A and B are shown apart, each in its own frame.
Chain A
């Protein structure tokens, strides 16, 4: 915590951390919303969420290595991950849709390990970035740096979020998804092919993660093990913001991004991941105490 006094001496640094946190937080929110979607529609908590992000990131990275600008990685990752997600649903996930939540956690955890290790074996454990070649803005006499790619990523995340909202409200499939999440049996009776809805939802979630992953590869780094922290972040955001409200998810995502930036600065970069998971535990415990005061339980 030795860095704390630096923050007071140079408050401009807080602004830097705030901006960085805000820009990355939008991506966290995007991934969280995908997790909330799958949870709400199919009652499955997808522990492999972070691995989907990771794979999307690799798509963008390999594109950049092949000479294509990683910006194209966003739609490419989205499409590829959609197909993968849909395939995973058709082979594995459809079998656990009716089971209890713990089964879904364990099964998707296994999936996560599978994907993580696959990536490790195939791509190696090295850390990579997909270089976007964009510049940096220097504000306030160079005290605050804002990478243009981060702002672009933020904007793209907002656009994707907006598209998703429009899709859920207006598109036929989107409405089917919403109907199924509210009452699967009623939806089925009304003629909705719930199995297809589930497959599409899972694929859609994977696509979201893939796009987010491409953004992450550009503004941060990717490596095979970045999955679990992302899953932890998504889960935290969903627990705090609730499953339905995208506005709350956005705010929570951004808040988490900012908290992480400050924690990384104050505690040291080597503790940033520790902070993420410790925060997860703290949030869960705090929320349970809060609910228990009102005599309700997190179950």
Chain B
């Protein structure tokens, strides 16, 4: 079966700085894949290149078999490839329900689609997903007034609302209270198993990613250092060295 995401020999440089060099990775459909590596190794840059934010210098990115490296961000999003942001981006001026309601998948809007009221089915699903992430009670609060952790959950719920096929998550547990991390991991797993969403996750929390991911890629200095199953990566000396800084 074709992997849902196929990155081949991706190369991205900013002026003289090479952010990603010859990076290749694969996300099989329906699986959870992890992307780890020390700070500054080019993980977020890789995400940005995949979703179309940066034009890549060389290589190819294929989503569901289709080449997307020349497409723009909105087009790629509409194909079903979404991402969440490290700094968590939500619509601060609107309340949670509205954030959810505007996050549905967007076919080209008709007149009714553009000016009509929000369908009841959409509001229903929004409430269900808010319940799923535990924000139901807060659904009428202004999103900008939520705590950082709550905004992260909202962003996750909004992504689910969009019914993506592949979701790129950038450090989903960063800044979350440790007691709540297990709950988030559970939800990620359920999103993958129940809603069939493939996940590619950047994570620094080794406990979380070793538990969740079925396959790992490790980046260091913009290059792919190692790849393999979590148990193998955990014991890989090169990975350990990269994190501890020994060159």
Residues of A256-299 at the interface with B, using a CB-CB cut-off of 8 Å, are 294-295
Q: Chain A: interface residue count, which band?
A: under 10
Whether a CB of chain A sits under 8 angstroms from the CB of B85 is no
Residues of B within 8 Å of A294, CB to CB, are 55
Q: Chain B: interface residue count, which band?
A: under 10
Whether a CB of chain A sits under 8 angstroms from the CB of B79 is no
Interface string of A81-124 (1 = CB under 8 A from B): 00000000000000000000000000000000000000000000
Shortest distance between the CB of A80 and any CB in chain B (Å): 44
Bound Cα distance A295, B75 (Å): 14
Shortest distance between the CB of B123 and any CB in chain A (Å): 33
Bound Cα distance A294, B55 (Å): 7
Shortest distance between the CB of B72 and any CB in chain A (Å): 8
Whether a CB of chain A sits under 8 angstroms from the CB of B94 is no
Interface string of B39-69 (1 = CB under 8 A from A): 0000000000000011100000000000000
Residues of B within 8 Å of A295, CB to CB, are 53-55, 72
Residues of A within 8 Å of B72, CB to CB, are 295
Shortest distance between the CB of B10 and any CB in chain A (Å): 15
Shortest distance between the CB of A295 and any CB in chain B (Å): 5
Residues of A within 8 Å of B53, CB to CB, are 295
**Which A-chain residue is minimally distant from B53 (CB atoms)?**
A295
Residues of A within 8 Å of B54, CB to CB, are 295
**Which A-chain residue is minimally distant from B73 (CB atoms)?**
A295
Bound Cα distance A135, B54 (Å): 58
Residues of B168-188 at the interface with A, using a CB-CB cut-off of 8 Å, are none
**Which B-chain residue is minimally distant from A293 (CB atoms)?**
B55
Shortest distance between the CB of B213 and any CB in chain A (Å): 30
**Which B-chain residue is minimally distant from A292 (CB atoms)?**
B72
Residues of B71-92 at the interface with A, using a CB-CB cut-off of 8 Å, are 72
Bound Cα distance A252, B184 (Å): 54
Shortest distance between the CB of B234 and any CB in chain A (Å): 37
Bound Cα distance A295, B55 (Å): 7
Shortest distance between the CB of A299 and any CB in chain B (Å): 14
Listed in ascending order, the chain A residues whose CB lies under 8 Å from chain B are 294-295
**Can you list 5 residue pairs at the A/B interface with Cβ under 8 Å?**
A294-B55, A295-B53, A295-B54, A295-B55, A295-B72
Q: Which 5 pairs across A and B sit closest by C-beta, in order of nearness?
A: A295-B55, A295-B54, A295-B53, A294-B55, A295-B72
